[in-house]
Amino acid sequence: MTSVLVGVDVGGTNTDVILIDGESEETYKLPTTDDPSKSSALGVKEIVEQTDIDPGDIDTVLHGTTVGTNALIENEGAKTGMLTTQGFRDVIHIGRHRKAHTFSIQFEQHQQARPIVPRRYRKPISERIYPPGEVVRPLDEDEVLTATEELVDDGIESIAICYMHSYLDTTHEDRTKELIQEHYPEITVSTSNEVVNQFREYERFTTTAINARLAPVMQSYLDRFEQRLEGHGFGDAEVLIMQSNGGMASVREVNKKPITTMLSGPAAGVLSGQFTGRQADEEKLITLDMGGTSADISVVPGRLLERDPRDSKIANYPTVTQMLDVETIGSGGGSIAWFDDAHGFNVGPKSAGSNPGPACLDQGGQQPTITDAQVALGRIDPEDFLGGSIEIDPELSSEAIDDQLVGVVEGDPFATTERAALSTLEVANSNMYQSIREQTIRRGYDPREYTFVAFGGAGPMHACDLAEELKMDSVLVPPSPGIASAQGLLTGDIQYDNQVTVSQRLSRVDAETVEGRVEALEKRGIEQLKGDGIDIDERAELHHSVDMLYEGQGYELNVEYDGTDGDWRSRLRERFEDKHETEYGHYFDEDPIELLNIRVRATAESIPYEPTTIERGGEDPSDAYKRNSEVIFGDSRAPKRLDVPRYEREALVAGNVVEGPAIIDEFDSTVVVNPDWEATVQPNGAIKIHYTGENQ
Amino acid sequence: MSTDESERQRGLLEERELDPVTLQVIGGEFDTIADEMGNKMIRSSFSSIIRESEDLGSGLFLRDGREIAESDFTPMHVGSLPGYLRGMFECIEERGQTVEEVTNPGDVFFHNHPYYGASHSPDVAVIVPIFVDDELVAWSADTAHILDIGTATPGLAIDLYDMYAEGQLFKARKVVSEGERVEEIWQHIRDNTRTPRMNEGDLEAMISAAEIGKERYLELVDKYGQETVKQAGEDLMAYAEDLLRSKIRDLPDGEWHEVGYLDDDGRNRDERIKIDVKVRIEGDDLTVDLTDSNDQVPTGFNCPVDGATKVAAYFTVRALLMDTYVHDEYIPQNSGTFEPVNVETRKGSIYDPEPPAAAYARINQVDMMGDLIMKALRNAMPERVMAGTCSQVFFTSYSGPDPESEGDEYWVYLEVNDGSYGGRPDKDGVDCVGALIHNTRNRPTEDIELSHPMRVERYELREDGHGAGRHRGGHGVCRETTFLVDTVMSTEGDGKHHTPWGAFGGKEGAGAGMYHLRTDDDGSDAVFYSRRDRSPDQMEFGDEVDEVEELYTKVTGYAFEPGDHFIVRSAMSGGYGDPYERPVEQVYNDYRDDLIDADTARDDYGVVIENGEIDREATRKLRGN
């Protein structure tokens, strides 16, 4: 019997649901409710009702949620306190003491203006550990109890325990946790060694404090979600949550470390892009998920890339947690095009959001947006915006462009409405193009060898333009690009990352120490998988790596670790030098190397998911033909007004070929096929667009 | 706006050859390149002053040295590189050669001379020429603070006899020639520093970063052609200049004058140093006149004019008028932002010294200059300024011979103990950040303790005496350190005798200080810190403390013994607006946060707190409402 899976992805406006049972695939969209557990559970119920599947037969519900991120952005969450080493009460307030803006007097220092834990709830405790793990002051247990009592009296619900050098010796943090749990069992406790276990106190303490603040929120959200599911008859289904690293985790594990799920949404998008690529036998991908306010861009060079934990930030707070390398830029359909005082032209990062939204929605928006430019250029069908459910007025788009952009500066690019609209797209595309270049060419990946995967409501409108700019000749648009992230949920493996700081010179660290640490990490990962009911022999896999750097350096490089057999130090050294040369162009063959961290990732593969196929037909797409309309292509110096055919995506069948220029309209997106491009409908309903011109 | 001015502005706009779209696209490329260069340096460098503190800069330059793009890291580096390039050209020309004769593809230059454009000698520039079709068309360059350049004392020094005591000075020195490393000079560099391995690692990282800048520039040329890229550089400079001029024009014409005093020059104790700043606005030109500031001093406490004095003035004006927090528009960083600002100095003064005076320690002078420029303009633009900043920094070097070496390698830790921002028109001052002019990062305490024989006992906000105000001044830092081995320290600090000013009814802040505590044992068991921060004269110490000595704020080669304890307390900034207008709840929260005590709440803010609770009746009475 095949498994029945349901994916539920919560967005700010809509919740997307997808169901697969091995034979068919259903998709569904509903508005997100104030308590998203309600719409999420309801979505599962309603999509199952569209099929003849019994609720009891649903095996797994895979969930992507932004509850934690939103709580952080909106300054909500549990009332949180902190116990920290005496003398270091202000670590999370001072931060790295770098100003958020270099050229500014009026800027806001985020962690000071919006503290995760205000100073009055940060209590100093007498204790101190000093490298390499020596206790220079014992833990004062009375102080712990007094401080906790004060916090509890102030209404604190969750406590972060953050001691200096706890990654070298966890006993003080562990004992503190034990004391609190013994005397105040109702208080949620997070220790910094459990949440991060690496040096650099500001980043570790902040991450731990965020974890402490979100833990009760996540726990209660997931409780409600599970209860509602049970109420709808899905009590037997296992619930898995998408983590920022692209792996799934059980509710039990997420409740301990909710910080790992903060970038659930963008991670699901990357997985979806990877899935779309694999269906078309493409492994090297650049993915673009472009929605209303922002665009998520990621490069997948045959494998998922992770972000350097030192660069990881969420809602402007540093968060040391594994996450996929997704770059988010302020370029979405609602981004505003505007001139500044010196007549410099800008698109974004200001956004019209959903209120007032683009001018064409007639909700009071006066500023032209990217969507207005698309409307003015005839690319969005005014009669079929979101399936005709929302009315738009193309006149308002043109008026906004005329008022704000046309004629502001002399010269061709802003001479007419259509030129100004093309200029808007050019600058928006340029912002995305820069970001893609930074992630590809700058890191040695040649985009010409890659396939461009575009989804989200706005992504497929920009795909051909960006691909041309990057000299890429192949674009993929998945079926239902608007709910692609939900689909990504179905493809994630269960995955737990554990790491520990060693911080010793490679030539001096003995094999036993390394092996001992590795075994401890393996054990922890296997326990986590076992707790999820995974058959370890059948499905579990362990991946080992180490972080190394030259002594004195501050940024580590991660290389594979394969045990301490033979001349293991030379093997590690060689891998490190190779990587140093690739990254920085040089290496030092005599300098001492430090073994900084050991990492073990425990995974269990997801249930394989085969997408359904759509009806097959010939090359001729005329059954899906709607009508011709006038669409403007070209650039702002030489616009081209063309009469192009429009097609209905739902009516296209596999094998249909649509020659560009053409527009393919669908419920929640529009695919623009540029001149010199040709679109072919794939067996699974995806659209593959190929460059057919010269000189690409 | 007069007709002349509007014509001038139109003229500037028409001078732009490229359309706004192309300009925006290439401008974005420039910024990306400059940032990529900086990030490469940070990631592969060895010393914490670069990799953790990010004391560095990087950018691209036209053939004549004007800057077309620069990374956004540390203000004193941003904008100093054009001076380095011009200084390098001057050195070459003084030798009777032309830049073209000397420069070949594949060359790499080092340059750091304080009288030839450098910001100060430890900020070494790595400069790489860019050739297109055999023609020298541009430069890629970066600067970073090098840990030790063989100065009289490890890491840094203030009490220096002359510029030769600063250490290694590079004047347009080629270290790679047509792709080949000049090994002789590298050996010489290694032989004349206490940190040879660190320096080589850092300099290699800087060369790699400059080479990346060159590669990326050439990729742009491939795509757009050299003429278009150059034109984009010119247009972006005109654009930035235009933008800044439009902001200056919005201010009233006039002249404003402010004076402040620094503690001393690091040798002649308690002889105050006068900082005299006049700001003049005429139309769209702004002049910072420093001519009446102190004569140059006989120590290293002088400011190189091109690399430090002017850069600090440009920076301050730009931050005031094109505050990136307030403005959304794209503001490129390039030489265009320097054009509208004239900096007038007097030869032989502390801001424009003459050789052979040393000019090594200059950060406190520029901090006070920035503060006084702002103070001068406070009535012309009250909504853009802040109250008095800390106007000081403790820049400190801790060092000793590395026990594992044979005396040829030292451990050196450079620490930037930052101060605070004054209260702002609608926000409190920022705590524990650089004064206006600098913006480095601190080093994690755990990293310090993993690397060096010292233990940090406290790294927290000072808890006494912020400038009270409707928006309070920022708190400085209190850092307490115990030394575990014999340690030599040099510090360029200031602010003991300067009190940050309060603005528009806000109160003054509090000055800075440094203290040495001696103990009767090796300090391993001693517990110095009280539960709360207190200034040492109010502190009660245990028996193990023998002696508490307040130090001068500048010391060169000061020795600590194992177990000795050192306290640094940076200045507390001034408040903005009447403290009685600060909401009672906010004052109460400051009290609960231990930032003020009940006496301060009552005396400065008119808020009466009894037994930990607000006495609303008494507060109303005291506040008179």
Which tens digit of pLDDT belongs to each residue from A519-533?
999 999 999 899 888
Would you call B325 and A106 a contact, using CB atoms and an 8 Å cutoff?
Answer: yes
d(CA A216, CA A218): 6
Q: Tokens standing for A344?
A: 């410099």
Q: What is the pLDDT of residue B441?
A: 87
Q: Which residue of A has its CA nearest to B454?
A: A130
Q: Tokens standing for A143?
A: 């102080």
CATH class of the structural domain A494-604: alpha beta
Q: What is the pLDDT of residue A503?
A: 84
Q: Are B144 and B210 in contact (CB under 8 A)?
A: no
Q: What is the pLDDT of residues B220-259, one digit of tens each?
A: 999 899 999 999 999 999 999 998 999 999 999 999 999 9
Q: What is the pLDDT of residues A665-690, one digit of tens each?
A: 998 889 999 999 999 999 999 999 99
Alpha helices in B384-460 (DSSP H): 445-451
Q: Which residue of A has its CA nearest to B241?
A: A342
Q: What is the pLDDT of residue B526?
A: 47
* 3 state DSSP class of A384: helix
Would you call A165 and B421 a contact, using CB atoms and an 8 Å cutoff?
Answer: no
d(CA B546, CA B521): 10
Provide the shortest C-alpha distance from residue B96 to chain A (in Å). 36
Q: What is chain B's alpha carbon radius of gyration, rounded to the nearest angstrom?
A: 25
Query: A-contacting residues of B 236-295, CB under 8 Å?
Result: 239, 242-243, 246-247
* B274-278, B330-334, B407-411 — most confident range: B274-278
Provide the shortest C-alpha distance from residue A220 to chain B (in Å). 30
The 3-class secondary structure across B31-73, one letter per residue, is HHHHHHHHHHHHHHCCCHHHHCCCCEEEEEEECCCCEEEECCC
d(CA B165, CA B153): 9
First-to-last alpha carbon distance for chain B, in angstroms, is 45
Tally of helices (H runs) and strands (E runs) in chain B: 14, 22
Provide the shortest C-alpha distance from residue A258 to chain B (in Å). 25
Burial of B501 (0-12, 13-18, 19+ CB in 10 A): buried
Q: What is the pLDDT of residues B130-181, one digit of tens each?
A: 999 999 999 999 999 999 999 999 999 999 999 999 999 999 999 999 999 9
Amino acid in position A299? V
Specify the length of chain B in residues. 625
* A190-199, A435-444, B322-331 — most confident range: A190-199
Residue of B50, B446, B456, B461 to mutate for A, most A C-beta atoms under 10 A? B446
A596-610 in b/e form (b: 16+ CB < 10 A) is bbbbbbbbbebbebe
Contacts of B23 (CB under 8 A, 6+ apart): A344, B16, B232, B235, B236, B239
**What percent of chain A lies above the pLDDT cut of 70?**
98
Q: Are B123 and B167 in contact (CB under 8 A)?
A: no
Q: Which residue of B has its CA nearest to A104?
A: B323
Q: Which residues of A touch B449 (CB under 8 A)?
A: 130-131, 165
Question: Tokens 């992630």 correspond to what residue?
Answer: A439
Q: Which residue of B has its CA nearest to A441?
A: B216
Contacts of B466 (CB under 8 A, 6+ apart): B429, B472, B473, B474, B475, B509, B510, B572, B573, B575, B595, B596
Domain boundaries, chain A: 1-57, 72-218, 272-330+429-489, 335-428, 494-604
d(CA B429, CA A109): 10
| Candidates A87, A103, A438; nearest CB to B460 | A87
Greater confidence (B28 vs B192) lies with: B192
d(CA B583, CA B590): 11
Q: What is the pLDDT of residue A386?
A: 66
Is A344 an interface residue toward B (CB < 8 Å)?
A: yes
Choose the weakest-confidence range: A41-50, A440-449, B83-92, B284-293. A440-449
Complex ipTM? 0.93
CB atoms within 10 A of CB B185: 16
d(CA A299, CA A352): 28
The residues that bridge with A29 in the sheet, in sequence order, are A16
Write the DSSP assignment of A82-132 as a string of letters: EEEETT-TTHHHHTT---S-SS-SS---HHHHS-SS-GGGEEEES-EEETT
Is B49 an interface residue toward A (CB < 8 Å)?
A: no
Q: Tokens standing for A407?
A: 């004629």
Q: Which residues of B touch A346 (CB under 8 A)?
A: 24, 328-330
Band of pLDDT at residue B73, cut at 50, 70 and 90: confident
B545-551 and B477-483 strand pairing: unpaired
Q: What is the pLDDT of residue B6?
A: 46
A533-to-A119, A537, A539, B569 alpha-carbon distances in Å: 42, 12, 11, 56
Residue of B9, B21, B43, B375 to mutate for A, most A C-beta atoms under 10 A? B21
Q: Are B573 and B422 in contact (CB under 8 A)?
A: yes
| Candidates A99, A434, A555; nearest CB to B51 | A555
Band of pLDDT at residue A221, cut at 50, 70 and 90: very high
If residue A389 lies in a helix (H) or strand (E), which one and from where to where?
Answer: none
Q: What is the pLDDT of residue A612?
A: 77
Give yes or no for residue A583 having a pLDDT over 90: no
Is B427 an interface residue toward A (CB < 8 Å)?
A: yes
Same fold for the domain at A72-218 and the one at A272-330+429-489?
A: no
Choose the weakest-confidence range: A88-102, A353-367, B299-313, B533-547. B533-547
Q: What is the pLDDT of residue A99?
A: 87
Residue of A99, A404, A590 to mutate for B, most B C-beta atoms under 10 A? A99
CATH class of the structural domain A272-330+429-489: alpha beta
Q: What is the pLDDT of residues B420-431, one digit of tens each?
A: 999 999 999 999
Greater confidence (B590 vs A355) lies with: B590
Tell me which residue of B383, B445, B391, B400 sits closest to B418, measured CA to CA.
B391
Give yes or no for residue B189 having a pLDDT over 90: yes
Q: Which residues of B touch A120 (CB under 8 A)?
A: 589, 592-594
Is B566 an interface residue toward A (CB < 8 Å)?
A: no
Q: What is the pLDDT of residue A274?
A: 93
Does domain A72-218 correspond to CATH entry 3.90.550? no
Q: Which residue of A has its CA nearest to B530?
A: A87
Would you call A554 and B48 a contact, using CB atoms and an 8 Å cutoff?
Answer: yes
